[in-house]
Structure 1
Amino acid sequence: MKALILAAGRGERMRPLTDRVPKPLLSVGGKPLIVWHLERLAGIGVREVVINTSWLADQFEPALGDGRQWGLTLRYSYEGPEPLETGGGMLRALDLLGHESPFIAVNGDVWSDFDPALLPGQPTGEAHLVLVDNPEHNPEGDFSLGDTGQLSIDGPKRLTFAGIGVYRPSLLANWRDVIDAAGTSPATQPARFPLAPLLRHAMRTGAVTGEHHAGQWTDVGTPQRLAELDVSLSR
């Protein structure tokens, strides 16, 4: 199975740290955030990882190379000077990930002790997402996890999407129809659009499953969270 690390964002809330360093390359616990992901993915047998880039894209390859030091092959999906958001970035990366087999995707700006070996190699639907307890900055959560593992938009047990999941390329097959219906049709080429409308659309047909990770997880969205995580990992 291949994997995608989403690393194209500007990291506006992390400024001024991200004025000169892309957020996934910021150091925490003695190594860049993205390296934690690379090590875990290599540890479960992933051998090819695609990294999508935009903001300060020229820093990734000098910092990470071709992946050989982790037993990986790294490929870079450059989106241009403006990030294509999660959906557009994933769509563009499919030429490197392949258009047939499921792949793992991880947000480059999160840290977690979740074991990616727990992810299904073949999700029963279009996607399988990891959810965590709601943090202070997202108290209402994102999706509801049912007793049978199905995810829905609304429900009594809303949790926060961890930015970790397995996706089938077919989730993106009719992206334009879904995005048009959501009223967020991209006006640019290549297409720039969020992934969330596609996931919500698939949830309405019961095509998205999930699991609850009760361990450690941090959305490294502010300098304070970065500093707190660094202290925790450096103990």
Structure 2
Amino acid sequence: MKALIFAAGLGERMRPLTNTTPKPLLQAGGKPLIVWHLEKLAAIGVTDVVVNTSWLAEQFPEALGDGSRWGMRLHFSYEGPTPLETGGGMLKALPLLGDAPFLTVNGDVWTDFDFAQLPRQMHGDAHLVFVDNPPQHPTGDYALLDDGVVRPEGERKLTYAGIAMYRAALFEGWREIIGAAPGAELSPPKFKLPPLLVAAMARNAVRGTHHTGRWTDVGTPQRLAELDASLVP
């Protein structure tokens, strides 16, 4: 199995910490946030991990090497000085990810979710992990129904955890789906992933899992400090 770690963000809300260090390389519990993911990915047998980069991109291979310390191969997908957003970044990385379903995780989250719970045999084009809505995002993102189907709207919307399984087929017809969205005309294109997910939901091609354990969106220096303190033995 292959995986993609989103690590290209500018980390603007984390300044001044991210003035000199990209957010996924900030430390919590004695190691960089991205290393927590790499260890968990290695534990379930992931052999190749693509890390998309932009801000301070040169620091990632310097800090992580080629992945051999975790028994995997690391590949770096550089997006240029301006990140391509989630959709554009994933599209650019697809040649490195192949046609089989692949795992994705945001480089700026921390969780005790076991990646082994993600389906190896997928139904549809995406399988998303959700968490209860945190204080900073009280309205949630999508509705997870009792049968595991995901809808754009519903009685109780949950927050996307930044962890998922995808098929490359999600991007079929992506230009028609996003239309004239700003950045779509660029090469490589820059666009967000949610419009493709909503289109997939319309054809019943998105499923989900509700994780009720620990999860943190490390979006501010305060949340990073709180996470770090909670991980100290």
| Same-fold call, TM cutoff 0.5 | yes
1:210 maps to what in 2?
208
Give the Cα–Cα distance (whole angstroms) in 2 for the partners of residues 226 and 204 of structure 1. 36
1:229 maps to what in 2?
227
1:159 maps to what in 2?
158
Using a 3 Å threshold, how does the CA distance of structure 1 residues 185 and 59 change in structure 2: closer, same or farther?
Answer: closer
1:149 maps to what in 2?
148
Give the Cα–Cα distance (whole angstroms) in 1 for the partners of residues 227 and 93 of structure 2. 30
* 2:58 match: secondary structure: helix
Give the Cα–Cα distance (whole angstroms) in 2 for the partners of residues 18 and 72 of structure 1. 27
* 1:18 match: secondary structure: helix
Give the Cα–Cα distance (whole angstroms) in 2 for the partners of residues 187 and 48 of structure 1. 30
Are the equivalent residues in 2 in contact too, given 1:179–1:185 (CA < 8 A)?
Answer: no
1:13 maps to what in 2?
13
1:184 Cα deviation (Å)? 4.5
In terms of mean alpha carbon deviation, does 85-94 or 186-195 score higher? 186-195
1:68 maps to what in 2?
68
Give the Cα–Cα distance (whole angstroms) in 1 for the partners of residues 172 and 75 of structure 2. 23
Give the Cα–Cα distance (whole angstroms) in 2 for the partners of residues 146 and 176 of structure 1. 29
Q: Point out where structure 2 has 5 or more consecutive residues left out of the alignment.
A: none
Moved over 2 A (4+): none
1:201 Cα deviation (Å)? 1.0
**Residue 206 of structure 2 aligns to which amino acid in structure 1?**
V
Residue deviations 1:30-61 (CA, integer Å, cap 9, x gap):
00000000000000010110000011000000
2:4 maps to what in 1?
4
**Residue 8 of structure 1 aligns to which amino acid in structure 2?**
A
Give the Cα–Cα distance (whole angstroms) in 1 for the partners of residues 215 and 128 of structure 2. 14
* 1:3 match: secondary structure: strand
1:105 aligns with 2:104: yes
Give the Cα–Cα distance (whole angstroms) in 1 for the partners of residues 169 and 195 of structure 2. 14
**TM-score between the two structures when normalised by the length of structure 1:** 0.97
**Residue 95 of structure 1 aligns to which amino acid in structure 2?**
P
Residues 16-95 of structure 1: pairs in structure 2 closer than 5 A: 16-95=16-95
Give the Cα–Cα distance (whole angstroms) in 1 for the partners of residues 176 and 110 of structure 2. 33
**TM-score between the two structures when normalised by the length of structure 2:** 0.98
Give the Cα–Cα distance (whole angstroms) in 1 for the partners of residues 193 and 230 of structure 2. 31
Are the equivalent residues in 2 in contact too, given 1:142–1:153 (CA < 8 A)?
Answer: yes
**Residue 61 of structure 1 aligns to which amino acid in structure 2?**
P
1:192 maps to what in 2?
190
Are the equivalent residues in 2 in contact too, given 1:52–1:77 (CA < 8 A)?
Answer: yes
Give the Cα–Cα distance (whole angstroms) in 2 for the partners of residues 110 and 145 of structure 1. 21
Task: Let me know the Cα RMSD of the aligned residues.
Answer: 0.9
Q: Point out where structure 1 has 5 or more consecutive residues left out of the alignment.
A: none
Are the equivalent residues in 2 in contact too, given 1:111–1:217 (CA < 8 A)?
Answer: yes
1:130 aligns with 2:129: yes
